Amino acid sequence: MMPSPPGGSGSEKQSWTERRRQKIRAEIERNRRGEYTVPTWVLALALAAMVAGLAALVMMA
């Protein structure tokens, strides 16, 4: 068997996983410092639920 070249898929995968781990670590550290934010899609979903609930109350009254 021949060893894979230095710039082959093995090192790419390792660097991808290491970058991913660093991103996760950074996010956890931000959250521990209190810098977390709610994603926009969650806020939009909550707003849609409130509007739908209000509309249902108006329609049923």
Q: What pLDDT is attached to residue 12? A: 65
Proportion of the chain above pLDDT 90, given as a percent: 51
Compute the distance between CA of residue 14 and CA of residue 32 in angstroms, rounded to an integer.
27
- pLDDT tens-place string over residues 40-49: 999 999 999 9
Low-confidence ranges of the chain (pLDDT < 70): 1-13
- Residue 40 covered by a domain: yes
Would you list the DSSP string of 16-29? HHHHHHHHHHHHHH
- Residue 55 covered by a domain: yes
Compute the distance between CA of residue 41 and CA of residue 13 in angstroms, rounded to an integer.
30
Tell me the pTM. 0.48
- Residue 13 covered by a domain: yes
Count up the domains in the chain and report the number.
1
Residue 15 sits in which domain range? 9-60
Q: What pLDDT is attached to residue 6? A: 55
- Residue 19 covered by a domain: yes
Instruction: Say if CB 10 and CB 4 are below 8 A apart.
Output: yes
